[in-house]
Amino acid sequence: MSGRGQAANGAFSGDSFGDSPGDSLGAFLGASFGIVVVATVALAALAGISLSAAALATGPDAGAQFVTVTQVIDGDTVEIQGGERIRLLGIDTPEGKRIRKSGGGKRLVPAQPFFIEAKRLLRELVAKKRVKIVIGEESVGYYGRTLAHLYLPDGVDVQRELLRRGYAMVTAYPPNISHLRVYGGIEAEACRAGRGLWSDPHFKLQNLADGAEIRSGMGRVAGTVTAVARRNNDVRVTLDDRLTLLIYRGAWRKFWPGQQADDLTGRRLIARGRIKAAGKQHILRIRHPFMLRARECAAWPGE
């Protein structure tokens, strides 16, 4: 991948909004530095999941639970005894093949590159093994899966291993962001080294201005802000009139206090996450500043 650690197509030369350091795009995107990161410690009784009380740890592992992995579903989801599914927090791995609605019909979308490698590594690490999980502050996800960090008995962070090999990207879904800074650093190193998905053309930064078809699914895009609008409870930032960043207004007020979204007009951004087609447009939901960048392979938005 060319231009690692540099501005996308040189578009961020200086990264400045104006003449003073306080006007820099990096400072704008890094406005969340001052937020308090809440530790993710939750007991099963409070989380409302089906794990037995006997699985709860005591002593130094209080707040953790020890379970046996019975099946690996994909690169970031496992099934444990009793059939409960655990979604690994803080990362996204390439998607498997899936059915997508298209033009009134349906079509099969092939698996993304490194889907198999990510799933295979997770299987090697945890399948049929007893592991430790620490449930997130928000304990249940959109699809009903339990949200947790996964550790091997010797303390190895499974998410870190997937990131280190280049088989995952960091994702940020508040309030489950306690590991964000550490994971961001590991991902940045893998990106600069071109490991795994970071060397694959499928995951190459998509420059919206070139007019090429936008790839849906987990990925990254770069574009110029052509419009900013507020609708219902959202701030909508449109890049090159082709893709809309949907930022929940509550997230904007929390992570960019005092900042004006209109100040982004005319600037170029790198955004990451799961890109979804919505008619002729595409949408990428942004819940935390970590999902916006000024440069590739940065460990944090303002860097």
Query: Does pLDDT of 27 surpass 60?
Result: no
Task: Tell me how far apart the terminal alpha carbons of the chain are, to the nearest angstrom.
Answer: 19
pLDDT given at position 28 = 59
pLDDT of residue 298: 86
For 203, residues 6+ apart whose C-beta sits below 8 A from its C-beta are 112, 113, 197, 218, 219, 220
The residue written with tokens 């008619």 in the block is 279
Q: How confident is the model at residue 299 (pLDDT cuts 50, 70, 90)?
A: confident
* CA dihedral sign, ordered 293, 31, 245, 236: negative
* Mean pLDDT computed over every residue of the chain: 81
Give residues with Cβ within 8 angstroms of 269, minimum separation 6.
29, 222, 223, 225, 237, 239, 245, 292, 293, 294
Specify the CATH architecture of the domain 8-36+201-293: Beta Barrel (2.40)
Query: Is the pLDDT assigned to residue 3 strictly greater than 50?
Result: no
Quick one: CATH architecture of 44-176? Beta Barrel (2.40)
Instruction: Say yes or no: do domains 8-36+201-293 and 44-176 share a fold.
Output: yes
Q: Pick the more confident residue, 161 or 16.
A: 161
State the Cα–Cα distance between residues 287 and 174, nearest whole angstrom: 7
- CA dist 69 and 44 (Å) reads 17
Please give the model's pTM, rounded to 2 decimal places: 0.79
Sorting pLDDT into bands at 50, 70 and 90, what band is 52?
A: very low
CA dihedral 199, 112, 170, 206 (to 10 degrees): 60
Boundaries of every domain in the chain? 8-36+201-293, 44-176
- Of the candidates 15, 26, 91, 30, the residue with the CA atom closest to the CA atom of residue 255: 30
Rounded distance between C-alpha atoms, residue 77 and residue 92, angstroms: 10
Pick the range with the lowest mean pLDDT from 76-80, 103-107, 225-229.
Answer: 103-107
User: Sorting pLDDT into bands at 50, 70 and 90, what band is 64?
Assistant: confident
Is 80 exceeded by the pLDDT of residue 71? yes
Mean pLDDT across 89-105: 82
Alpha-carbon torsion, ordered 286, 295, 297, 97, to 10 deg: 40
pLDDT of residue 279: 78
Helices (H), the chain: 25-29, 44-47, 115-126, 158-164, 180-193, 249-255
Residue 19, pLDDT above cutoff 60 = no
Looking at residue 264, its amino acid is L
- Is a pLDDT exceeding 50 seen at residue 182? yes
Per-residue pLDDT, 29: 62
